[in-house]
Amino acid sequence: MSYLFTSESVSEGHPDKVADQISDALVDNFLAFDANSKVACETLVTTGQVVLAGEVKSTTYLDVQKIARDTINKIGYTKGAYMFDGHSCGIFSAIHEQSEDINRGVDRASKEEQGAGDQGMMFGYATNETENFMPLALDLSHRILIELANLRRENKEITYLRPDSKSQVTIEYSDDNIPQRIDAIVVSTQHDEFDTDDRMLAKIRKDIINIVIPRVVAKLPEHIQVLFNDDITYHINPTGKFVIGGPHGDTGLTGRKIIVDTYGGKGAHGGGAFSGKDPSKVDRSAAYAARHIAKNLVAAGVADEILVQVSYAIGVVEPTSIFVDTFGTCPFNMTDGEIAKEVSKLFDMRPAAIEERLKLRAPIYSETAAYGHMGRKNETVTKVFEQPNGESVTLSVELFTWEKLDYVDKVKQAFGL
| Residue stretches of the annotated binding site for K(+) | 42
C-beta neighbour count of 408 within 10 angstroms: 17
Binding positions are: 14, 16, 42, 55, 98, 164-166, 241-242, 250, 256-257, 273, 277, 281
- Sign of torsion, CA 226 230 233 236? positive
Binding positions for L-methionine are: 55, 98, 250, 281
Binding positions for ATP are: 14, 164-166, 241-242, 250, 256-257, 273, 277
CB 393 within 8 A of CB 384: yes
1-to-137, 176, 177, 182, 266 alpha-carbon distances in Å: 19, 9, 10, 16, 19
Angle, nearest 10°, between helix axes 336-346 and 408-415?
Answer: 130
Rounded to 10 degrees, the C-alpha dihedral 287/288/290/295 comes to 140
Binding positions for Mg(2+) are: 16
How far, in Å, CA of 338 to CA of 324, rounded? 9
> Strand pairing partners for 17?
none
How far, in Å, CA of 290 to CA of 308, rounded? 6
